[in-house]
Amino acid sequence: MSALEIKNLKVSVEGKEILKGLNLTINQGEVHAIMGPNGTGKSTLAYTLMGHPGYTVTGGEIIFKGKNILDLEADERSRAGIFLAFQYPVSIPGVTVANFLRTAINSRRRAANPEDKGISIPDFRTMLKEKMALLKMDPAFAGRYLNDGFSGGEKKRAEILQMATLKPEIAILDETDSGLDIDALRIVSEGVNALNGPDLGVLVITHYQRLLNYIKPQFVHIMMNGIIVESGGPDLALRLEEMGYDWVREKYEEVA
């Protein structure tokens, strides 16, 4: 079982400490949710796990499959099996979804075997068609420039399409529900659920509870001021929905 273990993680951005000793373990087959008010460090955690160079780890470890991955670049982490669905996917003008995905797949194959010739075009097409059908995406989508002029829903669907194509072992969904209407939310969630299984660990980062009606976590964590302050089952999310974050703030104000 490949676990992602985050141990006493401390992270600074431009000299300011955002994560202040965060601990969390996610195993394959588990769905975790991190909830918390804005500005508490949720996205910092997501970017740090993926290896964004703008986030400086000042303490702690990130262990994946038994190895500390802090020294790995983002592409190496990805090939090791970590995936981040971005809150704000970046547009790459001039690069089609299909070209991009093929390059991503071939990068994996070449890393495993430098002699690899890459996936054949027919194999790639078949695979892509299948994954796009799963997410109810128009095949013409593959020919569009990546995230360029995409609606909010299209961007998030494209993220899940990438996840389906790259088959990670740990997927981090950063505010995947933001900017989605109910229909888009349902389609995206169904996509994630279809990928869910014993081989995938999921970390859902969200501000609102509503996504958790669709993607059901076994574990819910509340984050405040750069650490996890409360962990529990699905009922914890419901409690937040009912009572808001104020009770957490009151309880942990002194921690900050």
Partner 1 sequence: MTNLKLSPTIRQTGPKSFHFSESQILNNAENKVRKTAFDVLNKTTLPDTSVEAWRRTDLKSFPIDSFKIFTTLDEIALPQIPKEILEPMVDDKFGGQIITTPFSTTIALDEDIKNSGVIFTDIKTAETKYPDQLKKILGTLVNPEESIFAALSASLAQTGVFIYVPKNVKVEKPLHSIFWAGGNGLAFISNILVYLEENASLTFVHESASPKESEDQILSSNNIEINLSKGAQLRFVELQSWGKNVWNFSHERSRVEEGANLDWIIGSLGSRLTKNFSDIDLVGVGATGRMSGFYITDNNQHIDHDTQQNHFAGKTTSDLLFKGALLDHSRSVWQGMIYVAPDAQQSDGYQANRNLILSEHARADSIPGLEILADDVRCTHGATVGKLEAEPIFYLKSRGIPQAEAEKLVVEGFFDPIMQRIPFQGVRDRFKEAIINKMTK
Residues in touch with partner 1 (CB under 8 A): 50-54, 73-75, 77-79, 83-84, 86, 89-95, 99-100, 103-104, 107-108, 111, 145, 162, 166
Alpha helices, H only, the chain: 42-50, 74-80, 97-112, 121-134, 152-166, 182-195, 234-243, 246-252
* Shortest Cβ 166–partner 1 spacing (Å): 7
Q: Closest CB to partner 1 among 43 and 78?
A: 78
CA distances from 87 to 57, 107, 137, 208 (A): 21, 24, 20, 14
Which residues, listed in sequence order, are joined to residue 20 by a DSSP beta bridge? 10
Q: Closest CB to partner 1 among 81 and 229?
A: 81
**Residue 78 region by backbone torsions, left for phi larger than 0, else alpha for psi between -120 and 50, else beta:** alpha
* Shortest Cβ 230–partner 1 spacing (Å): 29
* Shortest Cβ 78–partner 1 spacing (Å): 4
Q: Tokens 């703008």: give the residue.
A: 54
Q: Closest CB to partner 1 among 77 and 157?
A: 77
* Shortest Cβ 97–partner 1 spacing (Å): 12
Q: 152 phi and psi, to 5 degrees?
A: -55, -45
Q: Closest CB to partner 1 among 118 and 234?
A: 118
* Shortest Cβ 108–partner 1 spacing (Å): 5
Q: How far apart are CA 64 and CA 69, in angstroms?
A: 6
Q: Closest CB to partner 1 among 123 and 253?
A: 123
Contact in structure between 215 and 30 (CB atoms under 8 Å): no
